[in-house]
């Protein structure tokens, strides 16, 4: 979330699309209801299903799963052709005036530089024209045909309401009504908030779905504003924190891009990741990358990380390719993995194509499950009748199951979707012999360390020298760990302008990431959490809910990263002169000497407006990108069909088969055969959560099992009639990857859509059920889903695929 949960109450219009906030995040959704009650705000829901969010919406429009870019591209076209944009904002705070390389082209669904063999783009033409100083060239009149604004206008001129309606199945008048409602928030003192979740990410165009809406928000001038922003409503309680800690292959804690084989030396590595400003006077905050990375190495390796050994740069494993979850299972399926551990993760149920996952796990030598619950994955080898048809005697994987504690049995901090880090305290011991995650990881590590110390082995250095300063080595305390994450000075940190002035004394916790240094004098486990445990103590444990601004900022409750900032890009809430666009909802303003207001400025505090330091400080441009050169599948989002589409071609590019689905999406060769066609599988399926359950956890909790006891699928009345299915019947749903059986819920809430002259039925399939749990034993929904991922994030396409249905 660029903003935060409570801030939603400040909005004038809430759009829920690509998500179902009422159902997946009811307690956050309350702030939408609050905005409706207190601000007379409107709520609009666009979804393939009439969801629980839609139940309390002012307006609902149906959409075919996987066509959000067509819809939103149409909105962009509407805003531009009706001149409903926030001009000053667009001109000054986005890259609309930036001039793009003349070689940039878009031709029938493909951007310039496409390589069909590699399923990817050479992005060299997707770049700014630069002047002699290396700065990007701009045309502030926005008239140059090569400026982003004109290119964007041209790109989206194809997204006419007719074509949008034909592609999405959304009735044209519904589409236009929503365009009109959104357009109203182009007024400087009106904001719209966008609440999305996995309904946008879980597509082969997932990242671009979000980008399209981000562009709309920029055109309307809603970023950085109270009640605005683009808000990812994330899945797990601490998915934000774990993302920040970067438990994934391509980044190190604090989103520091991890080294690859191409980054032979530390210098090369740092040079590539330390950009130069693209416009004069910009903060270009990533220029601090070396400080963050060096401080991380000091936290990881302590005294072993020295200037002489490049702060252990070579100890950091280098990637030779993709190692995301899909890639890991593809490797496992190919027999390239020996061992695997799942910590509070149930991939058999939650990854796409369950059969492939089960087959892959069976090829492992050893599997370690660290979980509070008996997960489906932990019993992938066990025959559970029709729900998991395997022969245990043929599965040679050695499986360990280690009991972990739950939230109530440990102290520690969680980071919510609004980036607010909050501490919690242990209430009781876990059952039996269960242990905390830190303790389990420490036990594994210390045993390995002992073995390497005694017996030697491959490259023991990083293991033997991993900093382990914990008072009880077997039980690193959460307090010690958060202090390490937040960072401390190892030597006196002095003012760069005055070396005699000590800013932080050796041994003290740093007050924030600004104090981090690249000379080894600071250690910080995660720069964005810098200052969360300062000399003042554990700021995540603060519980002062006072809210003098009335905006819900509660700056003394917990700690929001970065720097306790609650609304990102908040400098953009004021005009060039520093005057708030909406004085009634002041987030940030220039007081004459400094930035002040009701948040921590996302700006150098003393950057006077005349210095022209632009609000998007994490971009070397200083402004937000309507044209993004870094996306894998195009600088402007384009509509592509889901990999399994009910249509024969992409209505936007009917003549180009290559542009039917995302030409840069992640597909493994071995999975090409696993896709089905509309001939055999005529219905669009989409998977989702229900409010009564949380993933595959609450099926183990009695109360939740009572509230939603059995697997079901939802179908519209028209399809039900065609198929002779009545509510309560058992039905069989098949995709090209397998089948499930479940109870049919027949509903008016799933409409048959008119798409490109074709009737398209949608089948909704909740995901929460499985063969382990207190709920009625059931199939795993992801038996059906395709193993194909987004071009940028590699997130699988759970939200749009093809199935067939019959009475079981």
Partner 1 sequence: MALQSLDIKQRSATTTPAPSVRQTTEVAKLIDVSACIGCKACQAACMEWNDIRDEVGINYGVYDNPVDLTAKSWTVMRFAEVEEGGRLQWLIRKDGCMHCADPGCLKACPAPGAIVQYANGVVDFHQENCIGCGYCVTGCPFNVPRISKDDGKAYKCSLCSDRVAVGQAPACAKACPTGAIQYGSKSDMKDYAAKRIGDLKERGFAKAGLYDPAGVGGTHVMYVLHHADRPELYNGLPADPGISPLVSLWKGMAKPLASLALGAVALGSLFHYVMKGPNEVSKESEREAEKEESQ
Partner 2 sequence: MQVNRRQFFKICSAGLGGSSIAMLGYSPTAALAEVRDYKLARATETRNMCPYCSVSCGVLAYSIGDKSKNAKAEIIHIVGDPDNPVNRGTLCPKGAGLLDMVHSQNRLKYPEVREPGSNEWKRISWDEAIARITRHMKADRDANFIEKNAEGTTVNRWNTFGFLASSAAANEPGYLTSKILRGLGVVALDTQARI
Q: Contacting partner 2 (CB under 8 A), which of 164, 245, 740, 763?
A: 245
Where is 738: in which H helix or E strand?
strand 738-747
429 binds partner 2 (CB under 8 A): yes
The Cα 597–Cα 456 span in angstroms is 58
**Residue carrying structure tokens 């009625």:** 776
Nearest distance, CB of residue 444 and partner 2, angstroms:
6
Q: Contacting partner 2 (CB under 8 A), which of 794, 799, 802, 803?
A: 794
417 binds partner 2 (CB under 8 A): yes
The Cα 413–Cα 296 span in angstroms is 19
Task: Please give the biggest Cα pair distance in the chain.
Answer: 84
Buried residues in 128-158 as b, exposed as e (16+ CB within 10 A): bbeeeeebbbbbeebebeebbbbbbbebbeb
759 binds partner 2 (CB under 8 A): no
801 binds partner 2 (CB under 8 A): no
Q: Contacting partner 2 (CB under 8 A), which of 93, 381, 643, 769?
A: 381
CA distances from 604 to 284, 290, 457, 569, 627 (A): 11, 20, 49, 12, 25
Rank residues 484 and 602 by Cβ distance to partner 2 and give the closer one.
484
Minimal CA–CA distance to 211: which of 220, 221, 201?
A: 201
482 binds partner 2 (CB under 8 A): yes
Work out what residue 485 binds among partner 1, partner 2, none; the CB cut-off runs from 5 to 8 Å by kind: partner 2
Interacting residue ranges for partner 1, rule: CB under 8 A: 22-23, 26-27, 29-30, 33-34, 36-37, 40, 50, 52-56, 58, 60, 691-692, 702-712, 726-729, 743-749, 774-776
Q: Contacting partner 2 (CB under 8 A), which of 396, 472, 535, 670?
A: 396
Instruction: Find the part of the chain contacting partner 2 (CB under 8 A) among 169-177, 394-402, 623-631, 752-760.
Output: 394-402
37 binds partner 2 (CB under 8 A): no
**Cβ neighbours of residue 169 closer than 8 Å, sequence gap 6 or more:** 62, 63, 64, 67, 753, 754, 755, 760
CB 104 within 8 A of CB 125: yes
Q: Contacting partner 2 (CB under 8 A), which of 193, 415, 509, 645?
A: 415
Rank residues 658 and 702 by Cβ distance to partner 1 and give the closer one.
702
Work out what residue 744 binds among partner 2, partner 1, none; the CB cut-off runs from 5 to 8 Å by kind: partner 1
User: Angle, nearest 10°, between helix axes 68-81 and 148-156?
Assistant: 120
Residue 460 in 3-state DSSP? coil
Rank residues 238 and 598 by Cβ distance to partner 2 and give the closer one.
238
701 binds partner 2 (CB under 8 A): yes
- Token readout for 81 is 């052709």
206 binds partner 2 (CB under 8 A): no
Rank residues 9 and 435 by Cβ distance to partner 1 and give the closer one.
9
Q: Contacting partner 2 (CB under 8 A), which of 154, 505, 584, 702?
A: 702
Q: Contacting partner 2 (CB under 8 A), which of 125, 249, 287, 494?
A: 249
Rank residues 22 and 304 by Cβ distance to partner 1 and give the closer one.
22
CB 200 within 8 A of CB 18: yes
DSSP assigned state of 622: B
Half-sphere exposure of 675 (CA within 13 A, CB side): 20
Residue 705 in 3-state DSSP? helix
Strands 42-47 and 59-62: what pairing? parallel
401 binds partner 2 (CB under 8 A): yes
Q: Contacting partner 2 (CB under 8 A), which of 342, 528, 551, 684?
A: 342
CA torsion angle 207 293 126 71 (round to 10):
20
Rank residues 260 and 747 by Cβ distance to partner 1 and give the closer one.
747
Beta-strand runs (E) in 466-521? 488-489, 493-495, 498-504
Rank residues 25 and 86 by Cβ distance to partner 2 and give the closer one.
25
Rank residues 658 and 726 by Cβ distance to partner 1 and give the closer one.
726
Rank residues 150 and 735 by Cβ distance to partner 2 and give the closer one.
735
Rank residues 428 and 703 by Cβ distance to partner 1 and give the closer one.
703
Half-sphere exposure of 263 (CA within 13 A, CB side): 21
Nearest distance, CB of residue 776 and partner 1, angstroms:
6
Nearest distance, CB of residue 26 and partner 1, angstroms:
4
């Amino acid at each position: 979330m660029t903003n935060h949960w409570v801030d939603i109450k400040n909005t004038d219009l809430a759009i829920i699309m690509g998500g179902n906030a009422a159902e997946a995040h009811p307690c956050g959704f309350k702030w939408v209801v609050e905005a409706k009650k207190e601000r007379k705000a409107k709520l609009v829901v666009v979804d393939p299903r009439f969801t629980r969010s839609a139940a309390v919406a002012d307006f609902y429009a149906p959409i075919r799963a996987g066509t959000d870019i067509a819809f939103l591209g149409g909105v962009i076209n509407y805003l531009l052709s009706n001149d409903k944009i926030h001009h000053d904002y667009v001109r000054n705070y986005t890259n609309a005036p930036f001039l793009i390389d003349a070689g940039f082209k878009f031709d029938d669904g493909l951007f310039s530089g496409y390589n069909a063999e590699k399923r990817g783009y050479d992005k060299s033409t997707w770049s700014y024209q630069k002047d002699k100083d290396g700065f990007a060239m701009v045309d502030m009149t926005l008239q140059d045909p090569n400026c982003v604004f004109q290119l964007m206008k041209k790109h989206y001129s194809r997204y006419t309401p007719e074509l949008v309606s034909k592609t999405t199945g959304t009735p044209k008048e519904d589409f236009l009504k929503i365009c009109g409602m959104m357009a109203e928030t182009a007024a400087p003192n009106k904001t719209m908030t966008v609440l999305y979740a996995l309904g946008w990410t879980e597509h082969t165009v997932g990242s671009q779905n979000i980008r399209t809406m981000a562009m709309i928000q920029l055109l309307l001038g809603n970023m950085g504003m109270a009640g605005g922003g683009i808000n990812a409503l994330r899945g797990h309680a601490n998915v934000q924190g774990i993302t920040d800690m970067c438990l994934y292959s391509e980044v190190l804690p604090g989103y520091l891009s991890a080294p690859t084989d191409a980054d032979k030396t530390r210098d090369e590595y740092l040079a590539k990741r330390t950009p130069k400003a693209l416009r004069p006077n910009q903060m270009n905050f990533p220029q601090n990358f070396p400080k963050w990375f060096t401080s991380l190495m000091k936290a990881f390796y302590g005294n072993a990380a020295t200037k002489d050994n490049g702060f252990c740069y070579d100890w950091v494993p280098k990637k030779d390719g993709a190692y995301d979850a899909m890639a890991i299972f593809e490797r496992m399926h190919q027999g390239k993995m020996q061992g695997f551990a799942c910590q509070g993760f149930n991939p058999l149920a939650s990854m796409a194509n369950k059969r492939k996952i089960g087959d892959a796990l069976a090829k492992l030598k050893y599997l370690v499950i660290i979980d509070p619950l008996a997960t489906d994955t932990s019993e992938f080898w066990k025959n559970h009748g029709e729900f998991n048809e395997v022969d245990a005697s043929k599965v040679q994987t050695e499986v360990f199951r280690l009991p972990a504690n739950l939230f109530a049995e440990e102290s520690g901090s969680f980071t919510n979707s609004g980036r607010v880090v909050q501490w919690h305290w242990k209430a009781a011991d876990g059952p039996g012999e269960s242990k905390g995650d830190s303790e389990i990881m420490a036990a594994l590590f210390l045993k390995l360390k002992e073995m390497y110390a005694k017996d030697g082995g491959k490259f023991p250095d990083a293991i033997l020298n991993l900093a382990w300063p914990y008072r009880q080595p077997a039980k690193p305390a959460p307090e010690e760990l958060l202090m390490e994450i937040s960072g401390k000075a190892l030597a006196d940190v002095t003012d760069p302008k005055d070396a005699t002035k000590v800013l932080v004394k050796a041994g003290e916790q740093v007050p924030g990431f600004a104090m981090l240094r690249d000379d080894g004098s600071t250690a910080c486990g995660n720069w964005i959490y810098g200052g969360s445990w300062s000399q003042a103590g554990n700021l995540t444990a603060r519980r002062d809910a006072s809210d003098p601004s009335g905006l819900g900022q509660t700056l003394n409750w917990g700690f929001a990263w970065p720097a306790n900032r609650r609304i990102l890009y908040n400098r953009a809430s004021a005009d060039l002169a520093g005057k708030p666009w909406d004085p009634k909802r002041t987030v940030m303003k220039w007081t004459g000497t400094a930035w002040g207001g009701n948040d921590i400025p996302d700006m150098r505090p003393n950057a006077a407006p005349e210095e022209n330091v632009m609000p998007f400080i994490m971009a070397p441009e200083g402004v937000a990108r309507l044209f993004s050169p870094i996306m894998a599948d195009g600088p402007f989002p384009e509509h592509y069909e889901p990999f399994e589409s009910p249509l024969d071609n992409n209505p936007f590019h009917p003549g180009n088969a290559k542009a039917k689905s995302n030409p840069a999406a992640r597909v493994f060769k071995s999975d090409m055969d696993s896709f089905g066609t509309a001939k055999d599988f005529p219905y669009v399926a989409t998977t989702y959560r229900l409010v009564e359950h949380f993933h595959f956890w609450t099926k183990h909790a009695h109360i939740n099992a009572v509230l939603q006891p059995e697997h079901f699928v939802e179908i519209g009345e028209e399809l039900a009639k065609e198929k002779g299915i009545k509510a309560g019947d058992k039905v069989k749903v098949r995709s090209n990857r397998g089948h499930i059986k479940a109870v049919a819920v027949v509903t008016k809430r799933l409409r048959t859509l008119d798409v490109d002259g074709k009737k398209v039925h949608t089948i909704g399939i909740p995901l929460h059920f499985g063969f382990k749990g207190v709920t009625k034993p059931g199939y795993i929904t992801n038996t059906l889903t395709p193993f194909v991922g987004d071009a940028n994030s590699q997130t699988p396409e759970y939200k749009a695929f093809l199935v067939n249905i019959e009475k079981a």
